[in-house]
């Protein structure tokens, strides 16, 4: 049986992975696929601007070689929501002015998307008082869990406000704590 070419699914579509083994996941997304919503801020895993979701988990795409993602499902900011149909988090970022220059923003939103799933799954953080207990989405928890995403414009308070609003709305809708 002929082996299939290495392929990853990006925002639901199959995409052939690059030939150059040096190409990072970030450069593949930006350059080969034209998905420039994912940003390069440092290329060293220090700023979080390149955050994407791989099989639902957030990673710094600059620190991962594209060739390692055969069979993976990758979601980028473009998959989270488009201007005419924004996801609740994206809308909340606009309402709360959770950005200024906008360059770190896709990474912040991808990170926050994964963060909400991590809270639901009960993952503790370094500031959780009881690592076995279900985490509460306090501001302290949210700040801790978002600290891999730098924002030089200093929109942090507004980002946390946006996140709090979306978590509160989800809690209201589902009747269960996030």
Partner 1 sequence: MHLPLSEMYNEPDDRNVLDRMRQGVIGQPLDRPEGALKVSGQATYAAEWRIDGCVEGVLVLAEIAQGQVTAIDRDAALARDGVLAVIADPAMTRRSAQGMAAKAPQQDAAKVEYFGQPVALVVARTFEQARDAAVALRVDYADAAEPVPFDPHAPDVKVEAPSSSKPVEGGDLDQAMRDAAFSVDVEYDTPGHASAAMEPHATIAQWQGDSLILHGSYQMLAYNVKEIADCLGISPDKVRIIAPYVGGGFGSKLGITHEAVAAALAARELGRPVRVVMSRQQVFQTVMRRSETRQRVRLAADAGGRLIGLGHEALVSNLPGEKFAEPVTQATEFLYGGENRLLKVEVARISRLTAGSVRAPGEAVGMQVLEAAMDELAEKIGIDPIELRKRNLPATVPVQGTPYSSRMLTQALEQGAQAFGWSARQDRPCQTRDGDWWVGMGVASAARVNMMVPAQARVTLRADGSALVETDQTDIGTGSYAILGQIAGEMLGLPMARVDVKLGDSALPPGAGSGGSFGAISTGSAVLYACEEIRKRLAKILGCAAEELVLKDGTASHGDAAPRPLRDVLGGEDLTTTGKIKPGKTAKAFSQASYGAFFAEVGVHAFTGEVRVRRMTGVFGFGRVLNAKTARSQCLGGMVWGIGSALTEELAFDTRDGHLVNHDLAEYHVPVHADVPAIEVILLEERDAAASPLQAKGVGELGICGAAGAIANAVYNACGVRVRSFPLTLDKIVPSLPDPFAQTL
> Which residues in this chain contact partner 1 in the complex, by CB under 8 A?
20, 22-23, 27, 30-31, 34-44, 46-47, 49, 76-78, 80-84, 86, 90-91, 93-95, 97, 99-106, 109, 139, 142-144, 146-160
CB 8 within 8 A of CB 117: no
| Residue 134 Cβ vs partner 1, minimum distance, rounded to whole Å | 21
CB of 2 to partner 1, least distance (A): 28
Cβ-based nearer residue to partner 1, 54 or 160: 160
- For residue 70 the two structure tokens come to 């055969």
Number of H helices and number of E strands within the chain? 6, 5
Residue 123 vs 156, nearer CB to partner 1? 156
**In terms of Cα–Cα distance, which of 91, 94, 103 is closest to 49?**
103
Q: Which is nearer to partner 1, 31 or 71 (CB)?
A: 31
Residues 6+ apart with CB under 8 A from 19: none
Give me the least distance between CB of 28 and partner 1, in Å please: 11
Euclidean distance between the first and the last CA atom of the chain, given in angstroms as a whole number: 46
Q: What is the CA radius of gyration of the chain?
A: 17
Q: Could you give the CA distance from residue 130 to residue 141 in angstroms, rounded to a whole number? A: 12
Shortest distance, CB of residue 110 to partner 1, whole angstroms? 9
Cβ neighbours of 3 (radius 10 Å): 5
Minimum CB separation from partner 1 for residue 5, in Å? 19
Q: Which is nearer to partner 1, 2 or 22 (CB)?
A: 22
For residues 142 and 160, the answer to whether their CB atoms sit within 8 Å is yes
Smaller CB separation from partner 1, 157 or 174 = 157
């Amino acid at each position: 049986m002929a082996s299939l070419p290495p392929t990853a699914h990006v925002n639901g579509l199959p995409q052939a992975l690059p030939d150059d083994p040096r190409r990072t996941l970030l450069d593949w997304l930006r350059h080969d696929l034209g998905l420039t919503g994912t940003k390069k801020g440092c290329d060293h895993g220090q700023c979080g601007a390149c955050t994407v979701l791989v099989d639902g988990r957030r990673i710094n795409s600059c620190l991962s070689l594209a060739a390692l993602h055969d069979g993976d499902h990758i979601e980028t900011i473009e998959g989270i929501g488009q201007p005419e149909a924004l996801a609740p988090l994206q809308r909340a970022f606009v309402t709360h002015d959770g950005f200024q220059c906008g360059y770190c923003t896709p990474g912040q939103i991808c990170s926050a998307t994964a963060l909400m799933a991590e809270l639901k799954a009960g993952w503790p953080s370094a500031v959780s008082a009881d690592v076995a207990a279900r985490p509460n989405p306090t501001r302290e928890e949210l700040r801790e869990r978002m600290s891999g995403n730098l924002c030089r414009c200093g929109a942090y308070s507004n980002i946390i406000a946006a996140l709090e609003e979306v978590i509160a709305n989800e809690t209201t809708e589902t009747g269960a704590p996030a």
